[in-house]
Amino acid sequence: MEFTVEKQTIHTKQETKTEVLEHPLDSEAVLPDYCPDIARILKCRANPVITAKRLADGGGVLEGTVLTEVLYADAKGELITFAQSVPLYHEISAPDGVDFCAVAVKMQYCNCRATEARKVEIHGAVGIKVNYYSNRENRLIIGAQGKGVELLSCNQAVATLVAHTEKSVTVGDEIPVASGSVRRILHTRAEAHNIEYKVVSGRCVVKGEIVLQALYQNTECRYETLRGQIPFSQIVEAEGLEEGDTCQITVLVLTTELRPRTGLDGECKNVAVTSDVLITLSGYRSLELPLVTDGYSTQCGIGIRRCNGEIITSVQQYNENYTAKGQLDVGRELSVVLECCCSPDVSRVQLDEHRLTIHGTLQCELLGLDIEGQPIFVDKSLDFIWEKEVPDELSNCNFESQVTVQKESFTLIGGSELELRVQLDVQIAAFCSLMIEPVTDLVLDPSVSPEVVGVPLVLYYAKAGERLFDIARRYNTTARAVCEANELTEQTLSRQKALIIPIS
């Protein structure tokens, strides 16, 4: 019989390289005419965003902006924010054959000083981490016939990558102002939450909401907080995606712009919100395959090649809410806290036995007024630990995490201490890997003849736990022949047994 092999192609997202870079930030800002002079700088913020990625063999370019914000007090003690965008352009060293990359950016530090009453120098560094991936094709053997080939196989669930794409969208809406009329907006934060999806052939409908928080001053010179949610629904084209596939989706809010809307009465009772959002989608399809893990031939020699890359068996996702709590010592007595904004920074994700743990730090920015009514700004940090019991099936998995802030609440204690509660949205993706090395190629060698036992039958005393496949290979016969000769129904012996081995 002619030798034939049946294979199944499995695609995996293979990480090929990680690159850590630093991009300098050196900028000078001049206040526009509508901004009063600087009396005292409270805080300089910088938010780096990557808006375009271009890859080429051996290189590539990242493009984006760094939005710098200078929060200062004028001569009257009122809070003012001035924002300016600085272009970001950085060359990268993409390896040959890379298909796509994931980029994470964050400020390593940002300092500023007023060189004049209307001029500010800003210096800092943007940390850039680039993970390069290739769409690796693995052709796994799931069957073979002819030339006396015997295979050892097992039914195994695998997850093949069927789609990977990104889509940039703009989400907008108007949010009513709860108290007073908006005079000026001081700070804005927006995060994507409650992400859901539904797959239709070749498309994925992604739904969620942008949760917005903004500090503003009203026309009565009081500081208020604006909160709102902007629902969105977007269709992401993803060729190859089918109903029933599993999608790993991240939604990143790149920039958010707020514009107060003035009504016919001259009052700003609504704020127009526009957010630029990046949706990243990876689609996986679950397959049940009879993967071959070993083989031999009763007629000739055989060489075996195995898959040397990681094969994903399943992609499981968890989304939970968690409240981090702690006390922060401000160091000065406050009369009121105007705003508390926290940003999570995950330091490590680890699995100990059945407990999955995320260790991280909340970088918290506190803006308030002291007992004399003067504004103060304080940076503080709060460590957090999130834990979850996970089943045994996740013991051989790699984990990717994304932690975002839903809402902060606080209580001022004794004037200088803050009891802080931060509601976090914890998203975990578990990528479980094969515990076996599947066979990708069988190479027959007709010049090699198997060792022949010179008797028609052999009596073999087998131990519990031995496989018929191994016994049959030792005597150059087939597991089926051993099974039929001994009227066995199991491929792995549950107890020791004397076996009759028919020799081919």
Q: Average pLDDT for residues 348-371, to the nearest whole number?
A: 92
Report the distance separating Cα 162 and Cα 183, nearest Å.
50
Taking the domains of the chain in order of start, what are their residue ranges?
13-135, 160-289, 312-433, 451-502
pLDDT tens per residue, range 72-120: 999 999 999 999 999 999 999 999 889 999 999 999 999 999 999 999 9
Report the distance separating Cα 430 and Cα 250, nearest Å.
14
Within a 13 Å sphere around the CA of 147, how many CA atoms are in the beta-carbon half?
A: 21
- Contact present, 103 and 90 (Cβ < 8 Å): no
Q: For 451-502, which CATH superfamily applies? A: LysM domain (3.10.350.10)
Report the distance separating Cα 81 and Cα 68, nearest Å.
10
Tokens 């989706």, residue located: 249
Q: What pLDDT is recorded for position 290?
A: 96
pLDDT tens per residue, range 257-285: 999 988 777 788 899 999 999 999 999 99
- Contact present, 361 and 318 (Cβ < 8 Å): no
Q: What pLDDT is recorded for position 387?
A: 93
22, pLDDT greater than 80? yes
Report the distance separating Cα 367 and Cα 216, nearest Å.
12
Residue 391 binned pLDDT confidence (cut-offs 50, 70, 90): confident
pTM: 0.90
- Contact present, 392 and 430 (Cβ < 8 Å): no
- Contact present, 136 and 43 (Cβ < 8 Å): no
* Average pLDDT value for the chain: 92
Residue, of 452 and 242, whose pLDDT is higher:
242
